[in-house]
Each structure stands twice: as structure tokens, then as C-alpha cells.
């Protein structure tokens, strides 16, 4: 969604989740304020029975599920996922703890307006185990990154980052929980800005506002 809607209608967010959905909840809470400039119009998941879907249901937000195993190939799943997202006509797609890589078809349709939140400071520790990898490496500072999704693994243009300390007695869980506190604040602040101000991407640099 490079430019804000001229009619000032709230931007339409579709949020994809795979688990507990605390980042989704932060967005649901933030979007309850009309001044936020966006609303969650649907929540999708790659699996059933997760807390993230229950949170959406509780907030009266429609849900959908696209499971890889229900399709004959990863490409068919990717196409179906993009179709399910398209049914809700989003301005911005937010991957909030979505533990699948979206594929070429999805990116062809929603590239440039899909963001993902990753629990590490990119380009360090990409992939599924950001907090564990940071802890194992012994870094003293880690954090979270909001980025515009591209074809790589956590490689897209960076919208925002937030740093958190790694403490001597951290476990993966305590570190990840500390990251998630920063992540929820980052996600709500910067998705709101993307919705209200619009943004451009030039040479990997994400800037707010219209050109």
C-alpha cells in the first residue's frame, strides 16, 4: 500500500498467524481506535485450532485457514492462500507469527504491501529460530525487525527495528518473551504509520509519506 487511501477510509489489514497471536492481539487492540487509521478485516492461518484464530473470532473478525497438506503442492497452497487473502481486498497484509514462507504467486500479488515481523535484528539470525540462534551465538543485544516481504528468508526492506538486551540467565523463552514485548510495540506503531502516511521503497530504504 504505497500511498494512503484518498477517501480516508481505514486501511484494510489481513493478518496471517500460526500460533498464540499476541502480535495479532496488539493490532486488534490498536485498531479499535478509529484514529489508528486501519482495521483488521480478516485473520488467516496455516493451521486449525490456534489461539490466534480464537482471538480473531472473539473480536468478530472473519477467519480462514489454508493448510499446506490440503493441497497437492506448495505452489497450489500458495495460490490458494493468495486467493483467500484477496477475498478481503487488503491494503496491507501483516504476517504476525506466520511460520510459513509465502511463495512466488503470493509475492506477485502482494509483494510491496506484505510485512512480516521477525524476532531478531536483521540481517542476523534469519529463519524460524531467531531467539534461540541469538542466545546460542552469545550476542548481548538482539531484538525484532519489521520488514517488507520479498522472496528471501527475512531479507526484505526494513521498516523498523527495536533492540532488547540479552541477559546472562536468559532461556530461549525468557528472551523471546522480552523480544515480543518490543515486537508488539514496534508492530502497532509502524503498521499504523504505514496505513496513515503511506510509504515508499527505494534501494531497500523504506520511507514514510508520499513522494
Residue 63 contacts residue 44 (beta carbons within 8 Å): yes
Give the span between the Cα atoms of 182 and 161, in whole angstroms. Answer: 9
> Does residue 44 belong to the site contacting ligand GAR (CB under 6 A)?
no
- Residue 178 or 198 with smaller CB distance to ligand GAR: 178
Active-site entry in 76, 79, 118, 129: 118
Q: Is 114 helix (H, G, I), strand (E, B) or coil?
A: strand
Active site residue 118: yes
Give the span between the Cα atoms of 112 and 64, in whole angstroms. Answer: 23
Residue 116 contacts residue 145 (beta carbons within 8 Å): no
In the DSSP assignment, the letter for residue 9 is: P
Nearest to 205 by CA among 124, 148, 126, 143: 148
Residues 127-156 touching ligand GAR, rule: CB under 6 A, are 128, 130
Residues 66-125 touching ligand GAR, rule: CB under 6 A, are 96-97, 99, 117-119
- Residue 172 or 197 with smaller CB distance to ligand GAR: 172
- Residue 85 or 101 with smaller CB distance to ligand GAR: 101
| Positions that interact with ligand GAR (CB under 6 A) | 17, 19-24, 52, 96-97, 99, 117-119, 128, 130, 180, 183
Q: Which residues are designated catalytic?
A: 118
Amino acid at each position: 500500500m504505497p500511498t494512503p487511501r484518498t477517501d480516508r477510509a481505514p486501511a484494510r489489514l489481513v493478518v496471517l498467524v500460526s500460533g498464540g497471536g499476541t502480535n495479532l492481539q496488539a493490532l486488534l487492540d490498536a485498531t479499535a481506535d478509529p484514529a489508528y487509521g486501519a482495521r483488521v478485516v480478516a485473520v488467516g492461518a496455516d493451521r486449525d485450532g490456534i489461539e490466534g484464530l480464537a482471538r480473531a473470532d472473539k473480536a468478530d473478525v472473519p477467519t480462514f485457514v489454508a493448510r499446506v497438506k490440503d493441497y497437492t503442492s506448495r505452489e497450489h497452497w500458495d495460490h490458494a492462500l493468495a486467493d483467500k487473502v484477496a477475498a478481503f481486498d487488503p491494503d496491507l497484509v501483516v504476517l504476525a507469527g506466520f511460520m510459513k514462507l509465502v511463495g512466488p504467486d503470493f509475492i506477485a500479488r502482494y509483494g510491496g504491501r506484505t510485512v512480516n515481523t521477525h524476532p531478531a535484528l536483521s540481517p542476523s539470525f534469519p529463519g524460524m529460530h531467531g531467539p534461540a540462534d541469538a542466545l546460542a551465538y552469545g550476542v548481548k543485544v538482539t531484538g525484532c525487525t519489521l520488514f517488507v516481504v520479498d522472496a528471501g528468508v527475512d531479507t526484505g526492506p526494513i521498516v523498523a527495528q527495536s533492540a532488547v538486551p540479552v541477559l546472562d540467565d536468559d532461556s530461549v523463552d525468557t528472551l523471546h518473551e522480552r523480544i515480543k514485548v518490543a515486537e508488539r510495540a514496534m508492530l502497532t506503531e509502524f503498521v499504523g504509520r504505514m496505513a496513515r502516511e503511506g510509504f515508499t521503497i527505494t534501494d531497500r530504504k523504506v520511507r514514510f509519506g508520499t513522494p
